[in-house]
Amino acid sequence: MSFTLSVLLLQLLSVTHSDVIQKYTLMSGSIELIGQVPNMLVKSVVWTWNKDKVAEWDKGDMTPTYYPTLNKTELNMDTWALTLSDLQPTCNGQYALQINGIETATSFQLIVLESVSGPNISTNCDQRSCNLTCQGAGIDHTEYSWTDNRGRNERGSVLKVEKTKGLDRVYTCNFSNPVSWNTSSVRERELFPPESTDANLYIILGSMGGAVLIAAAIGIAVYIKKRKVPDGEEQGGQVPGGKEPGSADEANGEDENRRFLPSQQPLQQQALQQQGIQMSRIENTDAVCEMNAMA
């Protein structure tokens, strides 16, 4: 009993239930509203707009009757569909179809919209991240989404981005309504301007410069040491041989060498231990030449 009752109630509900379908249309555009015509002999047809009649046909009429509430309306006498043209926001409202004096199950809510303009992007950044805010004109039926050139895709007007190494991202805001969309983009390079990159570059260059300076300093130090090596070797290596010539100049030379000897001895040993053989050899050659020249 109760089961049959619920079935009856459901059937009643489904009969009285009516769908309202939202229809978005671009301004100046047109739309065709196709109603649900019941499977019965059609004796009269009425389209209403917010309960006012806009088009009517009765059995026997050669043409429909139009009511001048809307700009351009046209009733299709085969399908009973209503076409509205040159739509303006003033055409917004609810459209319903009556067949044989009974409203059909489906009605339409018309919303005429302008096409959206290009949105503005405002940025709020620190050194490594940004909040990108997209702002378009109008709030009704609009939505925002963000994409980047790497496949990121997010809904909402604000996108939080992190600085990337390549600085090659392009962030695009898509501002849309159901009938149009428009985009604006911002390049990552604009968000994190070259100053910060240059600063990094300067740090790198600076440290490179420092390294060069240090290298130069070492080079000079080594060179000075090597210059001194011959003096020492003259003492250690050449002096025994130096005695052989036994010339009169020998005494003067030895005196000069001995004067420098105490301070130069440690340097000389260090130099010999630390420097490569090749370098020492070059220095020795020089030293020998100098020695010979002096002798």
Ligand X SMILES: *[C@@H]1O[C@H](CO)[C@@H](O)[C@H](O)[C@H]1NC(C)=O
CA angle 190, 196, 200 (to 5 degrees): 140
Residues numbered 62 to 121 that lie near ligand X (CB under 6 A) are 115, 117-118, 120
Stretch that binds ligand X, among 131-139, 204-212, 226-234, 236-244 (CB under 6 A): 131-139
CA angle 33, 39, 44 (to 5 degrees): 65
Closest residue to ligand X using C-beta atoms: 118
Biggest CA-to-CA distance, the chain:
150
Torsions phi, psi for 17 (to 5 deg):
-65, 130
Site for ligand X (CB under 6 A): which residue of 25, 48, 174, 280?
Answer: 174
Site for ligand X (CB under 6 A): which residue of 14, 16, 62, 126?
Answer: 126
Q: How many residues bind ligand X (CB under 6 A)?
A: 19
Bridge partners, residue 131, by sequence? 124, 160
Report the alpha-carbon distance of residue 106 to residue 163 in Å, rounded.
52
**Is 27 among the residues that bind ligand X (CB under 6 A)?**
no
Site for ligand X (CB under 6 A): which residue of 26, 37, 125, 179?
Answer: 125
The alpha carbon of 267 is separated from its chain's Cα centroid by a whole number of angstroms, namely 61
**Is 186 among the residues that bind ligand X (CB under 6 A)?**
no
Please say which residue, 120 or 197, places its beta carbon nearer to ligand X.
Answer: 120
Instruction: Tell me the torsion sign for CA atoms 10, 11, 14, 16.
Output: negative
| DSSP 8-class letter at 106 | E
**In terms of Cα–Cα distance, which of 17, 34, 26 is closest to 96?**
34
Please say which residue, 95 or 175, places its beta carbon nearer to ligand X.
Answer: 175
Stretch that binds ligand X, among 22-30, 135-143, 215-223, 266-274 (CB under 6 A): 135-143
Please say which residue, 158 or 239, places its beta carbon nearer to ligand X.
Answer: 158
Stretch that binds ligand X, among 35-43, 173-181, 232-240, 276-284 (CB under 6 A): 173-181
**In terms of Cα–Cα distance, which of 283, 295, 183, 203 is closest to 245?**
295
Stretch that binds ligand X, among 70-78, 102-110, 130-138, 232-240 (CB under 6 A): 130-138
**Is 285 among the residues that bind ligand X (CB under 6 A)?**
no
| DSSP 8-class letter at 168 | -
Q: Which residues bind ligand X (CB under 6 A)?
A: 115, 117-118, 120, 124-126, 129-131, 135-137, 160, 174, 176, 181-183
